Structure 1
Amino acid sequence: MLDAAVKALTQILSPPMRSILWRSIALALVLITVLAIGLQRLLSWLATSGEGWAEAMLGPNFQTPLNVLSWIVSVAAGFGVVFGAVFLMPAITSLVASFFVDDVAEHVELEYYPAERPGVALPLGVAMTEGVKTALLTILVYLIALPFVFFAGVGFLAFFIATAWLLGREYFELAAMRFRPPAEAKAMRKDNAAVIFTAGLFIAAFVSIPIVNLATPLFGMAFMVHMHKRLSGPRPELIEPGRKTSVPII
């Protein structure tokens, strides 16, 4: 697993990947700006008009918890675009990855697995559907965890764990679906849930680093291409006589 992470880090800075890197960064910056501004506007509305609407719907008995929630939302809105950019980065990378999944995977397969059958490019609609689903689920989970940010860092831990699970899940399935039907790719992910979650921790750590995290789609995809190859094992026709077929993951 460490070897796969090092290979992914090394390759995203290689000349063949630079064009993809700059395009993914440009797309990520546009999406971050648009969505962060939208989030700031939404939080501002929730802190003002939203509180009155919720109290009218729930009744006066909910006034105190609504006031507390309104205060939390007001603080969040005060961070504005900066808060939104940090908060939305994992969701943004999910969307961006759906556009460049095959470009990245093809470079990894060509450099490290030239003797093996190359993967089949995913239809853009399938890749985007997976990216949108992961992005929406990420935002939902983060919104649930948001109130706990103010309690001894519990929310940040929840963010990190959720990011590891969500991004590890998406990038692995995208890598696997180049070689398997979607249902089989998802089943393989479930069968190797612990390993893939552990690999997702690497991606969660990467996406937590400001500026560097703009390259998350390339790192995450390249990393999971290697992980899928390791979990799949070597193809029988490529195994040398007398060589063991077990493949170390760590």
Structure 2
Amino acid sequence: MIQALSLAFAQLSDPRIQKVIGISIAIAFVVFGGLMIGGWFLIDWLTGLNGWWADAAHFLGFFAVLVIAWFTFPIVTATTAALFSDQVVDAVMARHYPNATHPYKVAIPEMLLDGVKLAAIALVVNVFTLPLLFFPPVYAVVAYGLNGYLLGREYFEMPAFRRLPRADAKALFQRHRARFVLAGVVIAFLATIPVLNLIAPIVGIAFMVHIFESVVNLGPRRG
């Protein structure tokens, strides 16, 4: 798994990957800028307070919005990654697995639907875990565990659905679920590290391609 992550980071210099990174960062800024601004105006509208009460409510509300945005970043990264998975998978496959076949094409509407479905499920899961913020260690374990499973499944499907029939891919995920979920936890963790979280979706896709190929016994070709 360390080798897979190392290979993923090493390919960030690939022009095809850099192009996707630029687009992904732009989307991340737009989404979270909108979330922060919208949250601020919502707090202002809901409180309607004056004086120091208003300042306290705004501070606490803004902090709450920041925390929610921080810990739900994996949800947005999964949806963003779905938009560009083909380009990233193609770049990794061309460099490391040129002889591997990927006979199945995943249509863009299908990729978007999968990403939105995952985002909706993950949003519900993360909302229900928010009360655990009062117990940070417990929250971290639960949040990373749940997001690890969701992201592990989503990122696994990006290369798997191009290489295998869907039924076979899902069966493979079940057989090696622990490995793919652990990879998902790694991706979720990367998505909460400042600055690095901006490229976490791209690194996550490349990382999961290597994990997937290692499971189907197609070790990476050096190059």
**Superposed pair shares fold, TM > 0.5:** yes
For residues 39 and 188 of structure 2, the distance between their equivalents in structure 1, rounded to whole angstroms, comes to 22
Q: Give percent identity, aligned residues only.
A: 33
Equivalent position SS for 1:210: coil
Could you tell me whether the CA contact under 8 Å between 2:101 and 2:163 is conserved in 1?
no
Alignment of 1:72-91 (within 5 A): 77-79=61-63, 81-91=65-75
Question: Normalization by structure 2: what TM-score?
Answer: 0.83
Residues in 1 aligned to 2:216 and 2:60: alpha-carbon distance in whole angstroms: 44
Cα deviations by residue, 1:69-109 (Å, 9 ceiling, x for unpaired): xxxx9986231653343133111101101110000000000
Q: Which residue of 2 aligns with 1:221?
A: 205
Structure 2 equivalent of residue 16 of structure 1 = 16
Secondary structure (helix, strand or coil) at the match of 2:199 reads helix
Which consecutive unaligned segments of at least 5 residues does structure 2 have? 49-56
Contact preservation (8 Å) 2:148, 2:185:
yes
- Counterpart check, 1:2 vs 2:2: yes
Cα distance between partner residues in 2 of 1:78 and 1:107:
40
1:69 maps to none
Tell me if the contact between 2:16 and 2:87 (Cα under 8 Å) persists in the aligned partners.
no
CA contact (8 A) 1:76 1:83 kept: no
After TM superposition, give the deviation of residue 4 of structure 1 in Å: 0.8
Deviations 1:221-242 (A, max 9, x none): 11111111111224xxxxxxxx
Give the number of equivalent residue pairs: 212
Q: Does 1:165 align with 2:149?
A: yes
**1:133 & 1:44 partners in 2: Cα distance?**
31
Distance, in Å, in 2 between the alignment partners of 1:136 and 1:44 is: 26
Q: 1:39 to 1:133 in 2, by over 3 A?
A: farther
User: 1:140: Cα distance to partner?
Assistant: 1.1
| Aligned equivalents of 1:184, 1:46: Cα separation in 2 | 50
1:186 Cα deviation from its structure 2 partner: 2.1
Report how far residue 46 of structure 1 moved: 7.9
Measure how far apart 1:116 and its partner are: 2.1
Distance 2:39 2:147 in 1: 19
One-letter amino acid matched to 1:15: P
Equivalent residue for 1:201?
A: 185
Cα gap change, 1:230 to 1:46, in 2 (>3 Å): farther
Give the structure 2 partner of residue 32 of structure 1: 32
Give the TM-score, by structure 1 length. Answer: 0.75
In structure 2, C-alpha distance between the alignment counterparts of 1:164 and 1:140, rounded to whole Å: 15
Q: In the alignment, what sits opposite 2:114?
A: 130
Q: Which has the higher contact order (CA 8 A, sep 6+)?
A: 2
Structure number with bigger Rg: 1
Q: 1:38 to 1:121 in 2, by over 3 A?
A: farther
